Amino acid sequence: MPFFYHFLIFFLLFPLYNADPIGEFCNKDKNISSSRTSTTIDRVLAQLVTKASSDGFATASSGGGRIETVYGLAQCRGDVSSKDCSACIADAAKQIRQLCPNEADARIWYDYCFLRYDTEDFVGKLDAGVGLIFYNVNNVTDPDTFNRELGTLVERIRAEALAPSNNGLGKGKTKISPFVTIYGLVQCTRDLSRLSCEQCLAIAIANFPKYCKDKEGCQINYSSCRARYEIYPFFFPLDSSKKVFSTSLRVLVYP
């Protein structure tokens, strides 16, 4: 599958809730067909805000008959508080309509949450097409050790995410020297089957060496899963003794 890349300088946020999305995708090939569809999108977004705020995950649909059906999904990162989750989903629902006012297929990513809607039913289907990728501009000083320990950490948190009781979330850290700790997190959307989650994470993790070889940090964000590692704490509970920000480059990947 061919890919096209668009590079932008981007500064990672402190791991506290911030109203700015880290990226969005507005499908220019799928425009909203009528005012009724636009109204249906707003109805679905309202349902997602209400439902996801209480559980951290929600799907919704509206329409049928002569009204085009719209499907939606919203999910928060599994380690964030319910308060931050609710704020993130509410802001995502507002921002996605401002950023993608004419599109019937739209997705928006934040550090803390993800939201999408479409006039095609995507719920339960693996989607690792459009990707939002960040990598740290700094290289590690000992690539062999770093990559070996990163691989071990990633396999551990991937297995954790696939355990039924964890709702698709895996996170952890490993100390590789007195001065360097690797923090990692993976998560699938909760509509996926275990097999689809495993496949999505495999695709995301396989892109670490492709886009982020020997880099101090990397995050791969798809519509169905995300995978990230850094040498500073970015998930909760935070390690307050470490720095929590870094400069990265952003890569938007389109199928």
The string of pLDDT tens digits covering residues 71-112 is 999 999 999 999 999 999 999 999 999 999 999 999 999 999
* Residue 161 dihedral angles phi and psi, to the nearest 5°: -65, -30
> What integer is the mean pLDDT of 17-45?
93
**Are residue 26 and residue 96 in the same domain, yes or no?**
yes
- Answer yes or no: is pLDDT of 120 > 90: yes
**Are residue 188 and residue 225 in the same domain, yes or no?**
yes
> What integer is the mean pLDDT of 137-157?
97
Do residues 95 and 117 make contact, with C-beta atoms less than 8 angstroms apart?
A: no
- Answer yes or no: is pLDDT of 255 > 90: no
Query: Token pair of 30, please?
Result: 């799928």
- Answer yes or no: is pLDDT of 227 > 50: yes
Q: Is 124 part of a structural domain of the chain? A: no
- Please name the residue ranges forming H helices in the chain: 35-55, 82-99, 143-162, 194-212
**Are residue 160 and residue 247 in the same domain, yes or no?**
yes
Structure confidence at residue 238 (pLDDT)? 83
Give the separation between CA 242 and CA 213, rounded to whole angstroms: 23
- Residue 237's alpha-carbon distances to 66, 80, 137, 171, 205, in angstroms, are 48, 9, 26, 11, 23
User: What's the domain range around 248?
Assistant: 131-254
**Are residue 149 and residue 217 in the same domain, yes or no?**
yes
* pLDDT band at residue 7 using 50, 70 and 90 as cut-offs: very low
- Answer yes or no: is pLDDT of 9 > 90: no
**Are residue 136 and residue 55 in the same domain, yes or no?**
no
- pTM equals 0.89
**Are residue 107 and residue 156 in the same domain, yes or no?**
no
Look at 82 and 244; give whichever has higher pLDDT: 82
Structure confidence at residue 11 (pLDDT)? 31
Give the separation between CA 139 and CA 12, rounded to whole angstroms: 17
Structure confidence at residue 241 (pLDDT)? 52
Which of 95, 118, 141 terminates a domain? The answer is: 118
Give the separation between CA 128 and CA 206, rounded to whole angstroms: 12
- Answer yes or no: is pLDDT of 3 > 90: no
**Are residue 138 and residue 239 in the same domain, yes or no?**
yes
- Answer yes or no: is pLDDT of 143 > 90: yes
**Are residue 154 and residue 93 in the same domain, yes or no?**
no
- Answer yes or no: is pLDDT of 13 > 60: no
Give the separation between CA 255 and CA 253, rounded to whole angstroms: 7
Number of domains, the chain? 2
